[in-house]
Chains A and B, each alone.
Chain A
Amino acid sequence: MAELTKTLPAHQTGKQRKSEDIGANTKHGIMSRRSKGDMVFDTLNTIFMVIFSIVILYPLLNMVAVSFNDGLDALKGGITLVPRVFTLKNYQTVLGKQSMFAAARTSVLRTVIGTVTSTMVTALLAYILSRKEFLFKKQLSLLYVVTMYVSGGLIPIFIVYKNLGLTNNFLVYILPGMVPAFSMLVLRTYMNGLPDSLAESAMIDGAGHMTIFIKIIFPLCMPVIATVALFTAVGQWNSWFDAMLYNKMDDDLTTLQYELMKLLSSVTNQKTTAESAQHSTATVTPTSIRAAATVITSLPIIILYPFLQRYFVAGLTIGGVKE
Chain B
Amino acid sequence: MFKDPDFAKKLKNQKSLLLLSIPFVVYVIIFNYAPLVGWLMAFQRYKPRDGLFHSEFIGLENFRFLFRNEDFILCVRNTLAMGIINLFLGTVCPIIFAILLSEFRFNMGKKFVQTISYLPHFLSMIILTGIVFDVLSMENGTINKVLMATGLIDKPVQWLAEPKYFWWIVAFATRWKETGWDSIIYLAAITSINPDLYEAASIDGAGRMRRIWHITLPGLKPTILILLIMNVGNVLNVGFELQYLLGNDLVKSVSETIDIYVLNYGIGKGNYAIGTAAGIFKSLVSIILIVIANTSAKAMGEESLY
A interface list, Cβ under 8 A from B: 1-2, 5, 14, 18-27, 29-31, 35, 37-38, 41-42, 45-46, 48-49, 52-53, 55-60, 62-63, 66, 74-75, 77-79, 124-125, 128, 131, 133-136, 140, 143-144, 147, 149-160, 164, 175-176, 178-179, 208-210, 234, 237-241, 245, 257, 260-261, 264, 267-268, 287, 290, 294, 297-298, 301, 305, 308-309, 312-313, 316-317, 319
A24–B287 CA distance with the chains assembled, in angstroms: 42
Q: Interface of chain A, helix or strand or loop or mixed?
A: helix
Q: Which residue of A lies closest to B306 (CB)?
A: A323
Q: A22-B193, A160-B38, A301-B123 are in contact. Are A135 and B209 (CB under 8 A)?
A: no
Minimum CB distance partner of B145 in chain A: A77
Structural contact, A140 and B21, CB atoms closer than 8 A: yes
Q: Which of B28-80 contact A (CB under 8 A)?
A: 28, 30-32, 34-39, 41
CA distance A317 to B187 in the complex (A): 11
Contact check, B245 vs A1: say whether CB atoms are below 8 A apart.
Answer: no
Interface residues in B, total, Cβ within 8 A: 95
Min CB distance B47 to A, Å, is: 13
Evaluate contact between A241 and B241: CB separation under 8 angstroms. yes
Q: Which residues of B contact A (CB under 8 A)?
A: 1, 10-11, 13-14, 16-18, 20-21, 24-25, 27-28, 30-32, 34-39, 41, 97, 100-120, 122-127, 129-131, 133-135, 139-140, 142, 176, 180, 184-185, 187-188, 190-191, 193, 195, 198-199, 202-203, 207-209, 211, 241, 245, 248, 259, 262-263, 266-267, 272, 275-276, 279-280, 282-283, 287
CB pair B20–A59 under 8 Å, yes or no, is: no
Q: In the assembled complex, which residues on chain A have CB atoms less than 8 Å from the CB atom of B117? A: 52, 56
Q: Are the C-beta atoms of B107 and A305 separated by less than 8 Å? A: no
Contact in complex: B107, A152 (CB < 8 Å): no
Asked if residues B116 and A56 are in contact (CB atoms below 8 Å), the reply is: yes
The reply to whether A53 and B283 form a contact with Cβ atoms under 8 Å apart is no
**Contact at A20–B115, with CB atoms within 8 Å?**
no
> Contacts A160-B35, A264-B130, A316-B184: A179 and B27 contacting too (C-beta < 8 A)?
yes
Contact across chains for B248 and A268 when beta carbons are under 8 A apart: yes
